[in-house]
Amino acid sequence: MTTSSVYVHLQRPDNGEWVTVGRFTLDRLDGNQGLASGSFRYAPSYLDAGYTWVIDPVNLGSLDKVPYQATRYNGLTDVLRDIAPDSWGKFLLQKEHNLSNFAHEFDYLQCSGNTDRWGALVIGLSKKPSSSNIASPRMPKLPDVIEELQLMSNQLPAKHVEIRKRLMKTLSSGGARPKTTVQDGEVFWLVKPTISSDTSNVALLEHACMQMGLRAQLNMAKTYVHKDDTRTAVLVKRFDRFGNQRHMVLSGASLLQTEYPANTGQKNDNSRWSYPLLAQTMRAIGAPDKDLIELFGRMLFNALIGNDDDHPRNHAVVWNQSEKKWRLSPAFDVVPNMTETPKTLSMQLSQGRWDISNAALFADWKYFGFSSLAQAYQYANELIVKIKTGSLFLEETGLFSDDAELIRLRIQDMAQKII
């Protein structure tokens, strides 16, 4: 058996200082294709100092000396899986670090840099958080960054060598699509370009739908589009950092105590992918009713526009230090399926039901912060009107008119089906 461990550092939400919050240890069985077991323990120094921030209120909920055994991701603790790369980062890291097909999630966590990590956690081999690990990125030239991301996604050599080097050091971002972060003053933007294998202009679509959601008064992450002769990218404002402060976050996957995505070669178990379950979990960790209603609104929005990529890692909560509460994060990665009109969502709309229908949408209304079914209907009706109005402005966001028309027709059809 081989044992490895890392310290986990947290940027304090109150004064921005870095503290060691705990330690993660992984035991791997030799020669057993990476089979492993892992655990996280809050640091005695963290407990002795009397800090009260739990880094995952669902899976690491009490500030205890006892180690928490990780039950998913072959032994990687959920909140650490949240700050490790998904397929985009893994694809590049595997080549760069010569990782085997059996490389553990922990290997990817370790070889992706801390600079762009999601949320307020970083990892390190030293008990003392190292400032070089936690330096903020500078704002590079956006068009060159986009071009370099496009080259990387096509596995082509670097054109902007310095940018490529930096991108290769910051591969911790989640998600499947090429992306990186650029800084503009105090604000950090996630940059997601359209790539050559896309069958539609995904960047434009994402921006257009986020704007439509905003017009309907949903809480969407702010976006804008960079477009020049050869490149398009959507820029999404990061909600997990501002200036030098990083904010604690937790993915929907961790909240729902489910794995996403499943290990290579294994089928996703979607039994816990559920909006009402997410709403109940959010209530249990103290999120206000307002956020549960917002979640219902997002479910309805996804159903209307046909965003069936609403998987558990496309939802999150973020710690609000002034309220001392976990709050639903702004919506992100909201993109309609342009190949076919989906009949189901990734998440259950009500217990056991993934289908986009009136019965599925309203069956579990009571978990979403409404006081009656009538109130849920009223909210849905009002939201649909706002979304329809918002859809009249799709072309104004730069979306091509055939895409805009398809989305408008879909919203009309779906609204009729749902209400």
Q: Is 190 in the site for ligand ATP (CB under 6 A)?
A: yes
CB 309 to ligand ATP: min, Å: 6
* Alpha helix ranges (H) inside 64-221: 78-81, 87-96, 105-111, 142-153, 161-169, 202-215
* Burial class of 103 by CB neighbour count within 10 A (0 to 12, 13 to 18, 19+): middle
Stretch that binds ligand ATP, among 92-100, 128-136, 306-314, 359-367 (CB under 6 A): 306-314
Question: Using the rule CB under 6 A, which residue among 68, 73, 332, 367 binds ligand ATP?
Answer: 332
Query: Binding pattern to ligand ATP, positions 312-331, x when CB under 6 A?
Result: -xx-----------------
- By beta-carbon proximity to ligand ATP, the closer residue of 85 and 369 is 85
- Binding residues among 167-226 for Mg ion as defined by CB under 5 A: 175
72's tokens? 């998913």
* Rounded CA separation 361/344 (Å): 11
Q: Work out what residue 68 binds among ligand ATP, Mg ion, none; the CB cut-off runs from 5 to 8 Å by kind.
A: none
Phi then psi for residue 197, to 5 deg, are -80, -5
* Rounded CA separation 52/4 (Å): 27
Q: Is 233 in the site for ligand ATP (CB under 6 A)?
A: no
* Rounded CA separation 240/121 (Å): 11
Cα angle at 179 between 175 and 182, to 5 degrees?
A: 130
Residue 275 burial (CB count, 10 A): 28
Q: Is 333 in the site for ligand ATP (CB under 6 A)?
A: yes
Upstream peptide bond of 157 is cis (omega within 30 degrees of 0): no
Q: Work out what residue 190 binds among ligand ATP, Mg ion, none; the CB cut-off runs from 5 to 8 Å by kind.
A: ligand ATP
Q: Is 144 in the site for ligand ATP (CB under 6 A)?
A: no
Question: Using the rule CB under 6 A, which residue among 108, 118, 319, 370 binds ligand ATP?
Answer: 118
DSSP code, position 344: B
Beta strand 245-246 with 316-320 is unpaired
* Rounded CA separation 187/194 (Å): 22
* Burial class of 48 by CB neighbour count within 10 A (0 to 12, 13 to 18, 19+): exposed
CB 247 to ligand ATP: min, Å: 9
Q: Is 221 in the site for ligand ATP (CB under 6 A)?
A: yes
Q: Is 314 in the site for Mg ion (CB under 5 A)?
A: yes
* Rounded CA separation 296/273 (Å): 14
Q: Is 365 in the site for ligand ATP (CB under 6 A)?
A: no
**Residues β-bridged to residue 6:** 24
- Binding residues among 326-345 for Mg ion as defined by CB under 5 A: 333
Query: Binding pattern to ligand ATP, positions 150-189, x when CB under 6 A?
Result: -----------------------xxxxx------------
Q: Is 261 in the site for Mg ion (CB under 5 A)?
A: no
Q: Is 198 in the site for ligand ATP (CB under 6 A)?
A: no
Under the rule (CB under 6 A), what is the footprint of ligand ATP? Answer: 86, 118, 173-177, 190, 221, 236-240, 309, 313-314, 332-333
User: Using CB under 5 A as the criterion, which residues of the chain lie in contact with Mg ion when the complex forms?
Assistant: 175, 314, 333
